[in-house]
């Protein structure tokens, strides 16, 4: 394991891994890897779109944006397949499978509690605001308009 870490830090193995076609531990962590790649792909798409808008007057704007998108998508795919990152995503998916998710009724009750608490705090802050506005207005510190 230490030798793998040293090889990854040297840079040669990382670059070699970026240009390989293999898939690391193909059957493990598929959901986490797919979602991570999808998120990176969306960021890449926005970056290419922004580049195209920035170079709108250039005749090669679409070519540059398309090239950036292809390179970014390839790097996103390969980064998700590198050993260290893939092992991390595999561990994340394993931990997510251990989580006990709430049932629909528990989720509904929790949302109701949060919303009632939120509106309660908002009402208390509103009342404090009215009180301070009245007190400061009656002392002549702040005008009736609050300012």
DSSP-derived 3-state class of residue 20: coil
Mean pLDDT by 10 residues, the chain (147 residues): 48 68 77 91 93 85 90 90 88 91 95 98 97 89 62
Rounded to two decimals, the pTM is: 0.60
Task: Give SS3 for 29.
Answer: coil
At 5 the pLDDT is 47
Q: Which two tokens stand for residue 118?
A: 């939120």
CA distance between the termini of the chain: 66
- Cα–Cα distance, 99 to 78 (Å, whole number): 29
Q: What count of other Cβ atoms lies within 10 Å of the Cβ of residue 29?
A: 21
């Amino acid at each position: 394991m230490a030798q793998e870490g040293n090889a990854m830090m040297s840079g040669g193995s990382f670059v070699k891994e970026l240009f390989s076609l293999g898939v690391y531990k193909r059957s493990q962590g598929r959901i986490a890897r797919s979602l991570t790649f999808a998120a990176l792909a969306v960021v890449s798409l926005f970056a290419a779109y922004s580049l195209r808008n920035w170079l709108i007057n250039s005749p090669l704007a679409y070519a540059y944006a398309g090239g950036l998108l292809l390179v970014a998508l390839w790097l996103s795919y390969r980064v998700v397949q590198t050993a260290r990152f893939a092992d991390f995503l595999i561990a994340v998916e394993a931990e997510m499978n251990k989580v006990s998710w709430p049932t629909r009724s528990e989720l509904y009750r929790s949302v109701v509690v949060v919303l009632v608490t939120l509106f309660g705090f908002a009402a208390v802050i509103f009342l404090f605001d009215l009180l301070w506005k009245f007190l400061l207005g009656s002392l002549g510190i702040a005008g009736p308009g609050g300012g």
